Structure 1
């Protein structure tokens, strides 16, 4: 959590509104393994990180509300009784969506002002959107004593994304951002919303992110397409979600689905199994197995689920050439963003340099390297 970020947001609020705000920090997240399994009621393995959204919020007595995104130098004034979705892609939909979903639960909110800034790299697949939604719902809950539980808050954040942003996301991002535990990853069952926390101490190894700094425009529509393909196959199989299906089940309907959709469903079933194996590997301190599962995850995301891109595949190929990298894969929805790498601490700096150089030569653009720490979930900052 960046103290400088919080200080900047707080000072900005004091200058703009001449009132002392509540301060909230809401983290982004990484995901060790378990990609595109969350909306199939499966297992995921995320952790909150020390990059996130700092928000300052307080009641307004002017009869209107104001939201300011410092990163974008953008200000929106609005009346609560006239809120409706802005055009697609507008940041205020995250704020409006949360407010609308709270209203749907018959909770009473008065006018408010909010200012926020983030230090999650844009398009990195680290869920800046969930961090923003969580900071808004958490802030409003504190401000107006709404009595919402954290479980209710993450469902509000998720629904905001579905209904106002138009991304039919699963629950992992909101959960990891809200419930994160410092130095731990959460092995989450996305059906029951129950998780087990695992202290991550990889001894001589560490996690490192490399951001492709690309975000291909397919991402949102392709995400929704993948989700509807999974749902239609679940229906064919007569199960609630692909989490309930096995590979032999899938073989029974091979002639009823397209080969590409068959591979997508197969990926989800296999990825869910990998996520469960990864938890056991961490329990047993078997980093070789964990690394192998991470590489398998990328192969499936690229070849079966088809959500990778040439830049991500290139960085994973670079990792495979280096014996100090135990595993690497794309992380997040896909079509850009980061790779996550499990690497020996002593080799991390050298690998970051060689991979960055090779990437620059190949694509004539820079990638960015991040070393992250695992952080506490969304919370009030005193």
Structure 2
């Protein structure tokens, strides 16, 4: 958690609203393996990180709510009695969605003022939207004593994403942000919404993120398209979700679906299996196997599920002949964002220099590189 950011948010709140606020931190997340398996009720392996959203929030004595986005220097006022999704609403829709979904469930929310800011790199695929949603529902829960459990809170955040941002996401991002455990990743069962924490000990290796600094327009529509494909294949197999599918069953309907849809469904089945193998390899401190599974995951995302892009593939390919890197893959929704790399700590500096130069030469723009630590989930910031 960025202490400087906490001070800035608190100071701005006091200046703007002349009151001492409640303070909340909600982290972004990485996902070690298991992409696009969450809405298929499968398994994923995320962890909360030490970058996120800092929120200052308190009750208001006016007849509207007022929220200030510090990073953008934008203020938005709204009436609790007339909440609707905004066209091109951006960050506003996540907050409106959280409030509206809480109201739908009969929770009494009064007017409030808020200031928030984040240090999650934009478009990096680290779930800034889930962190923002979680920070607000957590803050509102504290402020108005809504008595919501953490599970209820993440379901409200997820519905906000569905109904106000238009992205039919699974539960992984909200779960990891809310339930994160320090120095651990969570083996999350997205059907039961339960998880098992695994302490991550990478020895001489560390996780390095490389941001392509691109976000292709396909991302949101492609996400919903692929969800529709998975649901269609599940219906043809007469199962609840692809979590329940086997390769044999999928082969039995191969003639009834396009080859593209077959490959997408096959990817999900194989990725689910990779998540389970990944958890076993962690227990055995088998870093070589972790790396191989990470590379396999990227191959599936790029060649079968087709959610990668040229820039992501370039960054992954740039690692393959490097003996100091055990694995690399795209992370998140794809079509831009980050790769996650398992690299020998002593070689980070040299690799950063090499890959930055290659990327700049190839695309005429810089990539961004940063390290993250696995952290606790959403929490009140102690005064």
Relative to the length of structure 1, the TM-score reads 0.99
Q: Does 1:22 align with 2:16?
A: no
DSSP 3-state at the match of 2:107? coil
**Other-structure match for 1:212:** 212
1:315-347 deviation per Cα after TM superposition (whole angstroms, max 9, x unaligned): 000011211100000000000000000011111
Q: Does 1:197 align with 2:211?
A: no
Query: Gaps (5+ residues) in structure 1?
Result: none
Distance (Å, rounded) in 2 between the aligned partners of 1:281 and 1:90 = 40
Distance (Å, rounded) in 1 between the aligned partners of 2:28 and 2:312 = 20
Q: Does 1:324 align with 2:315?
A: no
Distance (Å, rounded) in 2 between the aligned partners of 1:228 and 1:365 = 34
- In the TM superposition, what is the alpha-carbon distance from 1:61 to its structure 2 partner? 0.2
Counting only pairs closer than 5 Å after superposition, residues 233-382 of structure 1 correspond to structure 2 as: 233-382=233-382
Distance (Å, rounded) in 2 between the aligned partners of 1:308 and 1:268 = 15
Distance (Å, rounded) in 1 between the aligned partners of 2:132 and 2:216 = 22
Moved over 2 A (4+): none
- In the TM superposition, what is the alpha-carbon distance from 1:194 to its structure 2 partner? 1.0
Query: Gaps (5+ residues) in structure 2?
Result: none
**Other-structure match for 1:73:** 73
Distance (Å, rounded) in 2 between the aligned partners of 1:226 and 1:209 = 25
DSSP 3-state at the match of 1:88? coil
Structural RMSD (CA): 0.6
- In the TM superposition, what is the alpha-carbon distance from 1:348 to its structure 2 partner? 1.3
- In the TM superposition, what is the alpha-carbon distance from 1:90 to its structure 2 partner? 2.0
Distance (Å, rounded) in 2 between the aligned partners of 1:32 and 1:279 = 10
Contact 1:58–1:143 (CA<8 Å) still a contact in 2? yes
- In the TM superposition, what is the alpha-carbon distance from 1:279 to its structure 2 partner? 0.2
1:135-156 deviation per Cα after TM superposition (whole angstroms, max 9, x unaligned): 0000000000000000000000
- In the TM superposition, what is the alpha-carbon distance from 1:88 to its structure 2 partner? 3.2
DSSP 3-state at the match of 1:80? coil
- In the TM superposition, what is the alpha-carbon distance from 1:83 to its structure 2 partner? 1.0
1:55-91 deviation per Cα after TM superposition (whole angstroms, max 9, x unaligned): 0000000111101111111111111001111113521
Relative to the length of structure 2, the TM-score reads 0.99
Counting only pairs closer than 5 Å after superposition, residues 86-165 of structure 1 correspond to structure 2 as: 86-165=86-165
Distance (Å, rounded) in 2 between the aligned partners of 1:327 and 1:372 = 17
Contact 1:88–1:165 (CA<8 Å) still a contact in 2? no
**Other-structure match for 1:46:** 46
Distance (Å, rounded) in 2 between the aligned partners of 1:305 and 1:179 = 28
DSSP 3-state at the match of 1:107? coil
DSSP 3-state at the match of 1:210? strand
Aligned length: 382
Distance (Å, rounded) in 1 between the aligned partners of 2:89 and 2:363 = 27
Q: Does 1:176 align with 2:176?
A: yes
- In the TM superposition, what is the alpha-carbon distance from 1:363 to its structure 2 partner? 0.5
